[in-house]
A and B are shown apart, each in its own frame.
Chain A
Amino acid sequence: MIGNIITASVFASMIRLATPYLFAALGETLGQRSGVLNLGLDGMMLMGAFFAFYAVFITGSLILGLIAAIIVGGLMGLAMAFISVTLKAEQGISGIGIFLFGLGMSELLFQQWIGTPTTVSGIPDVYIPILSDIPVIGHIFFNHNILVYVAFALVPIMTLVLNKTNFGLMVRAVGQNPEAADAMGVSVTKVRYTTLIIGGILAGLAGASLSIAQINVFQQNLTAGQGFIAVALVYFGGWKPRGVMLGALLFSFVNALQLQISVVGVNIPSEFSAMAPYIITLLALVFASKSREKPDALTKPFERG
């Protein structure tokens, strides 16, 4: 029975499901480490998802789709930076504003420019010689589209950037103690703009990973609130890329498992299996270790002297 439920496919499904969360949450981690909470992540994902889809729909070029997602995500990040850093607006609310804008705008453009749900041929799964052929392991890990690998590769990269580079040091300094960073000649504004633009780009890619890689369809509110879960996962991961990845994997695993359970027909009310990922993620955090690197200046606009 258990063998029926916990199959290799469930793990493959976990990896797939975790990908958009990873992109979005890693970008959010960077932004939060520099002291900015971006609640508008879901809106940015939606814009990225739409523009990626639209570019592929029109041109058929997947590269252009990814570029479109990067540009639009970057612009959304820039807007968030302008609002929250330059205009020093309250971050939680401006994030909700950005979310609403992205939600409405992506659907509006979809209706105006495309009109009816349609599909594109998206980024194909990569076949890796030998690795993809390994039984079980190959199915779980080496049978995905390229964005999946990019997302997971970003985890060590982000860790490295945060902990071992000069830029990472500045990000942490600005998030921890902007006044001190400023006194040492670090431009708080510049650092936060950079992290938010990168965060926007990653959110755009998160959207693209849905619309032109996994689902290959665009529809109103395609992300169905994944951006908010991604924000939650940043807290889950204690602002560390590895922790964020563990959170994304746990959440996705439970989700994959509940789908599998309902497919093989174990008799659990579907309401309970649908709430399982949320409950278990929450419980995991209650019992998880408490090592956190919360940026002290999170949500606080920086004002000189």
Chain B
Amino acid sequence: MLKSYKKLVQLSVLVLSLVLLSVLPLSAQDDVFRVAAVAPSATNDLAFSQSMYDALLAIQTELGEDNFQFDFQDGTFIIDDAAVALREWAASGDYDLVIAHGSQFGSILQELAPEFPDVSFAWGTDEDTFGLDNVFAYTAASDEGGFINGAMAGLLTETGIIGVVGPIEVGDAKLYVDGFVAGVAETNPDATVNVTYIQSFSDVPLATEAAETHIANGADILTGTAQMVVGPIALAKENGVLWFGTQASQGDISEASGVIFQVYRWEVVLLDMIEQIQSGTLGGQAYEINLDNGGLVMEFGQAVCPSSGCGLGN
């Protein structure tokens, strides 16, 4: 009995040490900088998830495939699926930076990061690094672009009524909507801004009907945030209503209805993180993309400049 127990312990120790060996974070020995990221929605959602995917692609183009590679798991709307992926990437030791793109993943990193102190993590949108020196946090000052969008909308509205379709009254979405409302108030204090939070990030039919309701109540300008806005965009186009966007460029889909979009360019902060990591700092810093540092870019839609390729005018 005792003998077999002893054997078991020996065996366990052997297995454990093997596992530990394989688990020990040997950061990548080659010069390639490797990133792995999870995002809740699809990489082509024209919104939050796409903004990160596009940023990583942009960095790859800039640094070259020989120097920068990334793995991307999209569609992890089940929070726990992201937890599994993040843990595996962290344990593999193959990645220089592991990104959890979505504020719902913060709790996961809070538990995970202390277990893997040699791996660098980043997450957003939030500004909390949990006091850990291997966690970066990033936010978008989406109220800035929201303010610009709102100010323009205030000037452009003829009926004096503007409709907003939001998901849930939190985080990035709330920030944008609040900025937008403030922007309208700045240029057109008499205008009414009707805000609807439909309580879902993905319910396209409901978002579309919310937009319909806005139009029925006199709105001649619509805006909204999160991936379910494709419905409202299509509706705006159909009804000749102007559309103001955020998170990613929606110029192609909104066509003649699109006025201006606030586009996220996470590469601005990601490049700095990469530099930090290469010089040995694994985290502890909160970043923000904003209009100043070029992380937020305003892009005109076809309602303003019919041929594509218009930058931000003055």
Interface residues of A (CB under 8 A from B): 7, 9-10, 12-13, 16-17, 20, 107, 111, 115-119, 121, 210, 214-217, 219-224, 226, 255-256, 259-260, 262-265, 270-271, 274
**Would you give the shortest CB distance from B213 to chain A, in whole angstroms?**
4
Q: Report whether A116 and B46 are in contact in the complex, using a CB–CB cutoff of 8 Å.
A: yes
In the assembled complex, 29 residue pairs joining A and B whose CB atoms fall closer than 8 Å, in A order, are: A16-B209, A111-B42, A116-B253, A118-B252, A118-B253, A121-B238, A215-B204, A215-B235, A216-B234, A219-B45, A219-B204, A219-B227, A219-B228, A219-B230, A220-B42, A220-B45, A220-B75, A222-B205, A256-B209, A259-B196, A259-B198, A259-B210, A262-B196, A262-B210, A263-B196, A263-B210, A265-B194, A270-B196, A274-B199
Extra inter-chain contacts (18) besides given A118-B253, A265-B194, CB under 8 Å: A10-B213, A17-B205, A115-B44, A117-B230, A119-B234, A215-B204, A215-B208, A215-B234, A216-B238, A219-B228, A219-B231, A220-B45, A222-B205, A260-B213, A260-B217, A263-B214, A265-B195, A270-B199
Using CB atoms, name the residue of chain B closest to A119.
B234
Q: Report whether A262 and B197 are in contact in the complex, using a CB–CB cutoff of 8 Å.
A: yes
**Would you give the shortest CB distance from A283 to chain B, in whole angstroms?**
20
Name the A residues within 8 Å of B75 (CB-CB). Answer: 220
**Would you give the shortest CB distance from B197 to chain A, in whole angstroms?**
4
**Would you give the shortest CB distance from A253 to chain B, in whole angstroms?**
12
Q: Which B residues, 227 to 270, have Cβ-Cβ distances below 8 Å to chain A? A: 227-228, 230-231, 233-235, 237-238, 252-253
Task: Describe A's contact surface by its main secondary structure.
Answer: helix
Using CB atoms, name the residue of chain A closest to B206.
A224
Q: Report whether B200 and A224 are in contact in the complex, using a CB–CB cutoff of 8 Å.
A: yes
Question: 3 tightest A-B contacts by CB?
Answer: A9-B216, A274-B199, A224-B203
- Cα–Cα, bound, A7→B212 (Å): 13
B: number of interface residues (CB 8 Å): 39
Using CB atoms, name the residue of chain B closest to A139.
B216
Name the A residues within 8 Å of B163 (CB-CB). Answer: 263
Total number of A-B contacts with CB less than 8 angstroms?
110
Known: A215-B208, A217-B230. A116 touches B44 (CB 8 A): yes
- Cα–Cα, bound, A270→B210 (Å): 13
Q: Report whether A13 and B234 are in contact in the complex, using a CB–CB cutoff of 8 Å.
A: no
Known: A217-B204, A260-B213. A117 touches B197 (CB 8 A): no
Known: A107-B42, A117-B253. A13 touches B202 (CB 8 A): no
B169 within 8 A of A: yes
- Cα–Cα, bound, A16→B289 (Å): 41
- Cα–Cα, bound, A16→B235 (Å): 14
Central interface residue in B41, B217, B227, by most chain A CB within 10 Å: B217
**Would you give the shortest CB distance from A54 to chain B, in whole angstroms?**
15
Using CB atoms, name the residue of chain A closest to B166.
A270
Q: Report whether B214 and A217 are in contact in the complex, using a CB–CB cutoff of 8 Å.
A: no
Known: A17-B209, A256-B213. A215 touches B231 (CB 8 A): yes
Name the A residues within 8 Å of B233 (CB-CB). Answer: 119, 217
